[in-house]
Structure 1
Amino acid sequence: MKPSASRSTSSARCPRCGNAFDCGRHGQPFECWCREMPSLPADQLDAARPCLCPECLAAEIARASHVGPAADSR
């Protein structure tokens, strides 16, 4: 994954697997590889949590899509 010269990226370490990856989370404006991926459900988002690497984020998205939305409690 090679960032373009116009993107501001930094090296990050995945909290799940420990692999290093390029993260554009703090770029201005926010431009990162993860913007091209499907979003996680809102209840699984936490801005205070560190970013996941591409492989772990893909696994988390796949896991979330199999769980589906929370049951309606009406």
Structure 2
Amino acid sequence: MKPSVSRSESSARCPRCGNAFDCAMHGQPFDCWCREMPPLPADRLDSSGRCLCPECLAAEIARVAQGRPRGA
């Protein structure tokens, strides 16, 4: 996938695919799109605290639902 080049103040870069995406994790109040998605188990979270883009987060949630190992 080709990373997006345009970024706003609320943009982040996905540590898995490199795409830019809007992230409101640090906004006041916390009102990010990811709150609408099922949570990941703690062992599936990025230890650096970096957020996944919507596509990579959805893929990881699907892996968890199927019982597949991380990143498989």
**Shorter-chain TM-score category?**
0.7 to 0.9
1:48 aligns to what? 48
Q: Which amino acid aligns with 1:52?
A: L
Structure 1 residue ranges, 4+ long, deviating more than 4 angstroms after superposition: none
Aligned positions, number: 60
Q: Percent of aligned pairs with the same residue?
A: 75
**In 2, Cα distance between equivalents of 1:17 and 1:48:** 16
TM superposition shift of 1:41? 1.5
Which structure's CA Rg is the greater one?
1
| TM-score, structure 2 normalization | 0.72
**In 1, Cα distance between equivalents of 2:56 and 2:64:** 12
Unaligned 5+ residue runs, structure 2? 1-8
CA RMSD of aligned residues (A): 1.8
Matches within 5 A, 1:1-74: 10-46=10-46, 48-67=48-67
TM superposition shift of 1:44? 2.3
TM superposition shift of 1:58? 0.2
